Structures are given as structure tokens and as C-alpha cells.
Chains A and B, each alone.
Chain A
Amino acid sequence: MKRLVKLVLRMASLLAAVSILAFLMMAKAPMDPLTAYIGVNSTISEEAKEEAIEYWNLDGSPVERFLAWAGNTLKGDFGESIVYKQPVLTVIKERFQYSLALMLASWLCSGIFGFALGVLAAVYKDSILDKVIKSVCLVFQSSPTFWVGLLALSIFAVNLGWFPIGLAAPMGKLASEVTLGERVHHLILPAATLSILGIGKITLYTRQKLLEILGSEFILYAKARGEGIWQIVGRHGLKNIAIPAVTVQFASFSELFGGIALAESVFSYPGIGSAVTAAGLGGDVPLLLGIAIFSALFVFTGNFIANILYGAIDPRIKEGGFRG
């Protein structure tokens, strides 16, 4: 019980901090929200501008505006997005579906491939395979997402024509006619690009950890008993590297969120990343704060799940107390 209260308190303080920071940044941004709303060339009258300022709550001191927003939010009203003219929650819900599919696909992809490649590299340490995997991972690690995205787009979509150039569904098709296969087809390139961010890191990490384990004495003992390398990895290695792998994998939730804005803009993918961009450029405070809170929750959940999984994988941690 005490743990639960602590957890909730920690989450609440995190959300408060995130929203205050996000609000401060928006308030200090060199941008007039009214101009972002009506445009520079608008010739509407002062009266109409006043009405817009009042309706969208663009006036008043930052503290007042923030408190007004916080009060409504605590009541469950996240307000209306200025850019999309829809309730913030509606926008987030709609966009998050797309992003969730994208993040999940790339997260699984980087986790599975990263882990598998890491194990392979460790088992065949110093072989050509190891060297290839290592260099590929280092290249992946150091290449920026948007650059990889552009490259993938120009090779696989523009030149080879294997994949569509952008969007999350075929052009001109009604939602009811779009098949799962088509959705997956539109997802592959952005998901692959996004997962490249994670694969390199997880591979190198897994490789390192497995090598440490393989160098320890009980492995020598296992070898002496006549166990083959794959038997050793299966029986002793995987269990021992699972925990660091899970940590890295769940910690990558935040990186996924960071990468998604870039990947989405390169692939014209209509997810939460493009909504953030639009909100930032349009001075859309309610939407930006809504997304900030939502993503903080998302990352928090990721780390929380990792904590629970520790206990499940390694009972020693559970016994030693909850380290959330």
C-alpha cells in the first residue's frame, strides 16, 4: 500500500513538472499565438481579434493561463486544440492509434532483432559475423533517424517502388476498404527506420553482457561437463542477460517518443509526432501540454513495467524490495 501511494505521488509530481516545463517553454517561445492562429496577412477587425483572444484564452499572465488550464485539466477537461479545433483528447486518441502501432512495431522489432543479433555476436565473438554485426550496429547507432528515413524512402519507396511514399493508408481508399495488409505495408518503412535507433544499442549491450557471463567460472564448469555452446547460452546465458536487456528495452520508450516525430515527418505518417510539430508551430498550448502529459505517462508506464518484470524474471530483486 505504501508503495502504491509513493508511486502515485511520484507520478503526480512528474506530470506536474512536465506540464509546467512544457508551458514555460511555450510561454517563452518567440511566437504570438494570435498571429499563429489568424495568420500574418489577416485583415480581420480588432473586435474579431479580441473575440479570438478571449475564446482561446490567449491573454493574461502566464501564471493565470497555466492555472486556468491546470484547473480544467484536473477536472478532466484538457481543452480544445487551437490548430485542429477539436477537443485535445480526441486529437490525441486519433493520432495515438497510428503512433502506437508504429512504436510497438519498431519496439518489438528492435527488441527481438537486437537481442538475437547480440547473442549471435557474443557466441561467435571475433568471427566475421561478429565483426559485421558490430560494425553495422555502430553505424546504426551513429546515424540520425531522419537521415536513415530519407535514405530508406528514396531507395525502397521512390526508386524500387516496393513501399508507398508516405501516409498510413493507400491514397483515395475509404477507411472501411483498407485492409490490414495495406496498413502493415505502410507501416514497414517507418517502423524499420525507427527500430534502427534501438537495434544497435540493444545488440551491443546484449553482446557485452553475454560475453561477461560466458567468461565467468560456472560457464567453464558447464563446458567441462561437455555442454555445447548453444546449450550453455540457452541454459545459463539467456536468463542472466534477460534483466539488462529488459531494462534497456523498456528505457527505450522515451527514445522512441523522441524518434517518432522525425520518423513521422519523413514518412508523412499522421501520428502524434506530426501533431506535436503542428501544435508547437501553431502555438497550440492545450494540445502541446496534453501530448506532453500523455507521453510522460507513457514513458512512466514503460519504466514501471520494467520494474515489475525485474521481479518476475529474477525473484532475488523482488525479495530485496521494490526498487521502483
Chain B
Amino acid sequence: MKIRTKGMLLGIFAALAIALAGCGAGTRKAGASGEAGASDSIVCYVGHGFWDGSLDPIKGGFPYGYGFVNNGLVQVNCKSEYEGSLARSWEVSEDSLVYTFQLREGVKFQDGSGFTAEDVAFTYKTVMENQGQNGEVDLSKVEKVEALGEYSVQFTLKEPFSPFLDCTAQLGIVPSKGYDSVSFDKMPIGTGPWKVVQYDTEQQLIVEANEEYFEGAPGIKRVTFVDMDNEAAFSNAKSGQLDVVMVQPSYAAESVEGMHLEKMETIDVRNISLPCRKPGIFTNAEGEEVEVGNAVTSDVVVRKALSIGIDREEVIKNAFHGVGKPAKGWANNLIWGEPMEYEDSKAEEAKELLEGNGWVDTDGDGIREKDGVKCAFEVYTPSDEQDRYLLAAAVAEHVKGLGISIEVKQTTWDEIVTKAYTQGVVWGFGQFSPMAIDNQFRSQHFTVQPYSNPSGYGNALVDGLIEKAISANNQESAIGAWKEAQEAYAQDYPYLYLVNIEHCYFVSDRLDISADTQIPHPHGHGIPIICNMKDWKLK
């Protein structure tokens, strides 16, 4: 009987093994139409969970500043400039309050209906009425929007707001007649180069080329985006299932058969906020008393010594395997970016500076002191972002050589929001809108608006320039004022700028992602690579 049972068990195992093997062979042969390797379709991985929310532009879907399913009035081009998309041209009134856009004619939505000024007015009105549902495009500065005819639309703002142009790049236009707030969550209809065929949340998004696209049909006919975690995606890429896979910089040294590494330029910079105020209690505009300031970083000499003393190349090498470019300010591929020009890794000069100002190591522990205060502070990073931790840790290791001690700590954003008033925090910013400057440097935001002006920087000149930039009535003077503001705060070093990161992807050798027409990638590793997907070609 024993022998019989064993035989039976063996039989079961054998049957199982055959069944399993059969399954494997079966799928390979089947070759789904969207599988990597098909002649006119590709499969991409551009990050986990990016499309969790709605695909509907009204609810903040695709706010990246380039056309995908829907087009905006304007779009960002390779030089980070705004150019017409659904708008042909635009003008701003003398008082900076009225924006008039002339629209492209003869454009059709994917449902066949014609695009007119009505659709623009409808889209903007719907977002204004449901602003709470859209956390990406902020139209609270818009007073009203009117269609002035079939192909002309006029916006009136409540107050001058030059970054408004960025809103018009972020908001995709939906058809006024065909709009449905339920079905657009998964199947939006637009004028863009790609049509959504199927969207399974947290599984895949399948799009097909819009053959009628006004700038010409895309070269690739079908694209599938899969949603999984980074490791699973990389495994899939290694087994030949993917044409594009986003990877973290730590994977840059890996090699994948049939794929090559592409490092894409971004507008995303990482910096550490250095509290500029002396320790004390600060009473903000809302009457709240907040403990702020840091005895070490409030000394401008320490901040300057950090900025000029560290070797950014070395830090990037240690933190990101050398992926990324040294940054001393906002990315210079932004039209308004004006990074300071100075040499770094001048350790000797930094040390002299510190010693000249009384920061001397008297007790021989390698860390300087001044008036009994150790030259030490903490830097916080969010616990779910490993990259920021690696960067902070690399900086901490590096500045030991200058006699400065940084303790890196990880915690939740909820705690960071108050820690930022007294200690350093690693920040990442990469958006086309210059409101990032307002966010990080305007004095009135300190302690009032969470995550804004964490350094507690206060400079009336900078505040005035930011105001001037926001109320400008043309791009040139706005950009001029934004740049002046950057020059004005540069000497105070309220942030330790470190790196302009690069986004890494492995791309199939058979695929050309048209590097010439890629726009500099905004914040959010992953999706931006598809900005020019309509220009991609299979070799």
C-alpha cells in the first residue's frame, strides 16, 4: 500500500509539472498583440501608481504641460518655453488681467466633434466650479472665461498673475458636448495624439494612436503602460517583456539584454533648507507662536561654507552612482532659472571662512564650536523616499571634512513640516511654473503655509521682486523679475542646492524615443518620458 501511495503522489506531481510547463509554453506562443516585440506596439513601465487617480483633466489628470490624450491651450517645448498647442497665439492686456487666446481651427476631438472656443470655456468653467476635485491646476485666480466667437476665448483674472500661462499648459481641454464626469475617469476624450482604449486601475493603461491628430498621426500604433512596483517591472524588462522601463539611479550600472540606458535631463533639483533665523519664538500672521530657528544654520557663514565647500560631483557619485548634475540653484534649463555661478569643492576656503568667524574645533572631536555651540544640525528626509535619504547621508559624510556634523533622520512629512522650522530638510522641486520661487522664498509663507519657505527666509527686496514678477503683463518682464529675485537671495544661501537629478530608463534597442524632442522632465520620475511619445519610432 505504501508503494501505491508513493506512486500516486509521484503521478500527481508529474501531472502538475506537465500542466505548469504547458501553461508556460502556451503563453509564449500566444504572443499578445501588445507584447514587447510586436511590430507596431510597445509596452512601457513609467512608474508605480501614477495613474491611480482619474484620467479626466477636469479632475487633474495628465497635468504635465504636454499633450497626451487631451491638449492644453499652450504646451511646454524642449526649451521649457510655452508655445501654442490648441491656441495659435495669445495676448495679455496692459493691466495683466485679460488673456485672449486665438484658437487653432479645424481640430477634431476623438469622438468626431469639432473643437471650438465653447469647449475651452466649458473646460475652465467646470474646473472653476469643482476646484476642490482638482489638486493640480489652480484656477482660483480666474474671474471669468468667455468664448468670444468660435475660435477666440478670453480669460479675466481677479488680480495680475503671470504664472497663469502655466495653468493653461496644465489643463487639457475636454469636449463640451461629450463630457461625462464618470466615464472620463477611465476613458477621457480629447484632441491629443493618443486615444485611451482600456484602463484597468493599478494594472494597465492601453492607448492607441489618434490617426486624425492635428500634428500628424503617431508612428507607434499602440502603447501599453503597466503598473507594478519597480522591481517587478525591472524583472519583466529583463525577461524581454518591456520596451521602456523606468529605473532608480542605483540600477544605472546594470545591463539588460536588448536595452540601453537613457539618462533624461530634468528641471528637478534637490536642496536642503537651512533655517536662517536665530532660535526663538516666532509669532506669525495668524497669531500663532512657533518655535523656530537654528543656532548653527542661522549663521550665513556656515551656510556659505557648506555651499562652496562641498564637492557636489563627489556627493552625487556617492548618493546616486554619479547620475545627476551638480546644481547651485534652480535648473538652468528653465526659462526663469538663474543658478548662481561659483566654483564648489573649495574646502580650504570654506574652512578659513568658518575659522575667521569663530567656528573652531577646540575639543578635538573633529567638529567645530563657537561660543559653546557645536557646528551640528539635523537634516530630515521623508521615510518613503530612499533617494533623498541617500543624498542627505552622502552630504553628511562629506561635510565631516569641513568640521560640520549633520545627523540625517527619516520621518513622515507630518513631522517634517514642523521640524523644518528648526532643522534642515531635503526638498525636491521641478515644475515649469516659477511659483516654486514664491513657495520657497517669500517671507509671508513662513509657518503659515505648510512646506512653504521652510528656511524662514525673509528679504523685503526678494518679496518685492516676486510680487513684481507675478503681476507682470508679459513673459519677458516676469522672467526678468524672477531672475532678479534669484540674484537677490543668492548671497544669503538659504538653501544648500545639491543636484539637478536625471531620470533613468532602460529603452529597447529597437525603439527611438526621439531625444531631440524630449522636454526637460518635470518632478515625478517616470511619466515625463512620454511627453513626445507621438514622435517615437520603432526601428
Q: Which of B436-458 contact A (CB under 8 A)?
A: 436, 438-439, 449-451
User: A164-172, A201-209, A231-239: which one contacts chain B?
Assistant: A164-172
Q: How far is the CB of A281 from chain B (nearest CB, A)?
A: 8
A172-B204, A173-B34, A268-B232 known; A181 and B26 CB under 8 Å?
yes
Q: How far is the CA of A48 from the CA of B449 in the complex (A)?
A: 13
Which chain B positions have C-beta within 8 A of A124? Answer: 2, 5
Q: Which of A37-75 contact B (CB under 8 A)?
A: 37-48, 51-56
Q: How far is the CA of A165 from the CA of B6 in the complex (A)?
A: 33
Which chain A positions have C-beta within 8 A of B471? Answer: none
> Which residue of the partner chain B has the closest CB to A174?
B198
Q: Chain A interface residue count: which class?
A: 35 or more
When the two chains form their complex, are residues A127 and B24 in contact, meaning their CB atoms are under 8 A apart? no
* Among A35, A37, A52, A278, contact of B131 (Cβ-Cβ < 8 Å): A52
User: B144-152, B223-231, B525-533: which one contacts chain A?
Assistant: B223-231
When the two chains form their complex, are residues B132 and A47 in contact, meaning their CB atoms are under 8 A apart? no
User: B211-219, B317-325, B342-350, B412-420: which one contacts chain A?
Assistant: B412-420
User: B46-54, B101-109, B369-377, B401-409: which one contacts chain A?
Assistant: B46-54
Which chain B positions have C-beta within 8 A of A47? Answer: 131, 138, 140
When the two chains form their complex, are residues A158 and B235 in contact, meaning their CB atoms are under 8 A apart? yes
Which chain A positions have C-beta within 8 A of B239? Answer: 158, 161, 165
Q: Which of B6, B9, B132 has the most CB of A within 10 A?
A: B132
When the two chains form their complex, are residues B52 and A52 in contact, meaning their CB atoms are under 8 A apart? no
When the two chains form their complex, are residues A86 and B185 in contact, meaning their CB atoms are under 8 A apart? yes
Q: Which of A124-144 contact B (CB under 8 A)?
A: 124, 127, 129
When the two chains form their complex, are residues A94 and B450 in contact, meaning their CB atoms are under 8 A apart? no
Which chain B positions have C-beta within 8 A of A182? Answer: 27, 30
Q: How far is the CB of A135 from chain B (nearest CB, A)?
A: 15
A264-290: CB near B (< 8 Å → 1, else 0) gives: 010110100011001001100000000
Q: How far is the CA of A94 from the CA of B38 in the complex (A)?
A: 30
- Tell me if B133 counts as interface (CB < 8 A to partner A): yes
When the two chains form their complex, are residues B33 and A51 in contact, meaning their CB atoms are under 8 A apart? no
Q: How far is the CA of A163 from the CA of B235 in the complex (A)?
A: 12
> Which residue of the partner chain B has the closest CB to A281?
B384
When the two chains form their complex, are residues A171 and B34 in contact, meaning their CB atoms are under 8 A apart? yes
When the two chains form their complex, are residues B140 and A48 in contact, meaning their CB atoms are under 8 A apart? yes
Q: How many residues of B contact A (CB 8 A)?
A: 79
Q: How far is the CA of A268 from the CA of B45 in the complex (A)?
A: 13
Q: Which of A72-129 contact B (CB under 8 A)?
A: 83-86, 91, 94-95, 120, 124, 127, 129
Q: How far is the CB of B133 from chain A (nearest CB, A)?
A: 6
A35-B451, A43-B438, A83-B52 known; A171 and B204 CB under 8 Å?
yes
When the two chains form their complex, are residues A171 and B52 in contact, meaning their CB atoms are under 8 A apart? no
Which chain B positions have C-beta within 8 A of A278? Answer: 49, 52, 202
Q: How far is the CB of B480 from chain A (nearest CB, A)?
A: 20
- Tell me if A11 counts as interface (CB < 8 A to partner B): no
Which chain A positions have C-beta within 8 A of B53? Answer: 83-85
Q: How far is the CA of A94 from the CA of B228 in the complex (A)?
A: 18
- Tell me if B511 counts as interface (CB < 8 A to partner A): no
- Tell me if A4 counts as interface (CB < 8 A to partner B): no
When the two chains form their complex, are residues A40 and B413 in contact, meaning their CB atoms are under 8 A apart? yes
User: B276-284, B294-302, B425-433, B491-499: which one contacts chain A?
Assistant: B425-433
Which chain A positions have C-beta within 8 A of B135? Answer: 37-39, 42, 44, 48, 52
* Among B224, B412, B417, contact of A172 (Cβ-Cβ < 8 Å): B224
Q: How far is the CB of B20 from chain A (nearest CB, A)?
A: 5
> Which residue of the partner chain B has the closest CB to A186?
B27
Q: How far is the CA of A294 from the CA of B436 in the complex (A)?
A: 42
When the two chains form their complex, are residues A52 and B224 in contact, meaning their CB atoms are under 8 A apart? no
When the two chains form their complex, are residues B241 and A171 in contact, meaning their CB atoms are under 8 A apart? yes
A30-B414, A166-B228, A173-B34 known; A274 and B202 CB under 8 Å?
yes
When the two chains form their complex, are residues B141 and A160 in contact, meaning their CB atoms are under 8 A apart? no
Tell me the number of A-to-B contacts counted with CB atoms below 8 Å. 192
> Which residue of the partner chain B has the closest CB to A172?
B34
Q: How far is the CA of A161 from the CA of B229 in the complex (A)?
A: 19
Q: How far is the CA of A278 from the CA of B48 in the complex (A)?
A: 11
When the two chains form their complex, are residues A45 and B140 in contact, meaning their CB atoms are under 8 A apart? yes
When the two chains form their complex, are residues B450 and A55 in contact, meaning their CB atoms are under 8 A apart? no
> Which residue of the partner chain A has the closest CB to B141?
A45
B228-246: CB near A (< 8 Å → 1, else 0) gives: 1100100110110100000
Q: How far is the CB of A210 from chain B (nearest CB, A)?
A: 16
- Tell me if A314 counts as interface (CB < 8 A to partner B): no
When the two chains form their complex, are residues B5 and A174 in contact, meaning their CB atoms are under 8 A apart? no
When the two chains form their complex, are residues B235 and A165 in contact, meaning their CB atoms are under 8 A apart? yes
Which chain A positions have C-beta within 8 A of B27? Answer: 164, 170, 182, 185
- Tell me if B83 counts as interface (CB < 8 A to partner A): no
> Which residue of the partner chain A has the closest CB to B181?
A85
Which chain B positions have C-beta within 8 A of A46? Answer: 449
> Which residue of the partner chain B has the closest CB to A35?
B413
Which chain B positions have C-beta within 8 A of A94? Answer: 201
> Which residue of the partner chain A has the closest CB to B23?
A185
Q: How far is the CB of A272 from chain B (nearest CB, A)?
A: 11
Q: How far is the CA of A296 from the CA of B226 in the complex (A)?
A: 31
- Tell me if B351 counts as interface (CB < 8 A to partner A): no
- Tell me if A322 counts as interface (CB < 8 A to partner B): no
When the two chains form their complex, are residues B132 and A55 in contact, meaning their CB atoms are under 8 A apart? yes
- Tell me if A219 counts as interface (CB < 8 A to partner B): no
Q: How far is the CA of A164 from the CA of B185 in the complex (A)?
A: 28
Q: How far is the CA of A37 from the CA of B384 in the complex (A)?
A: 16
When the two chains form their complex, are residues A43 and B436 in contact, meaning their CB atoms are under 8 A apart? yes
Q: How far is the CB of A304 from chain B (nearest CB, A)?
A: 31
When the two chains form their complex, are residues A48 and B413 in contact, meaning their CB atoms are under 8 A apart? no
Q: How far is the CB of B187 from chain A (nearest CB, A)?
A: 13
When the two chains form their complex, are residues A268 and B5 in contact, meaning their CB atoms are under 8 A apart? no
Which chain A positions have C-beta within 8 A of B490? Answer: none
When the two chains form their complex, are residues B203 and A168 in contact, meaning their CB atoms are under 8 A apart? yes
- Tell me if A188 counts as interface (CB < 8 A to partner B): yes
When the two chains form their complex, are residues B202 and A270 in contact, meaning their CB atoms are under 8 A apart? yes
Q: How far is the CB of A280 from chain B (nearest CB, A)?
A: 12
A56-B132, A165-B239, A268-B227 known; A171 and B43 CB under 8 Å?
yes
- Tell me if A212 counts as interface (CB < 8 A to partner B): no
Known A165-B232, A175-B200, A278-B202; further 6 A-B contacts with Cβ < 8 A? A37-B135, A40-B382, A41-B431, A41-B451, A42-B136, A174-B206
Closest 5 CB pairs of A and B: A172-B34, A55-B132, A268-B228, A47-B140, A172-B224
Query: Hey, which bits of chain B sit against chain A, CB under 8 A?
Result: 1-2, 5-6, 9, 20-21, 23-24, 26-28, 30, 32-35, 38, 41, 43, 49, 52-54, 56, 59, 130-136, 138-141, 185, 197-198, 200-204, 206, 222, 224, 226-229, 232, 235-236, 238-239, 241, 382, 384, 412-415, 417, 427-431, 433, 435-436, 438-439, 449-451, 523
Report 27 cross-chain contacts, Cβ distance below 8 Å, ordered by A residue: A30-B415, A41-B436, A43-B433, A44-B135, A47-B131, A52-B131, A55-B131, A55-B132, A83-B53, A84-B52, A85-B54, A85-B59, A124-B2, A129-B9, A163-B23, A165-B239, A166-B228, A170-B34, A170-B35, A171-B43, A172-B34, A172-B43, A172-B206, A173-B32, A182-B27, A185-B27, A270-B201
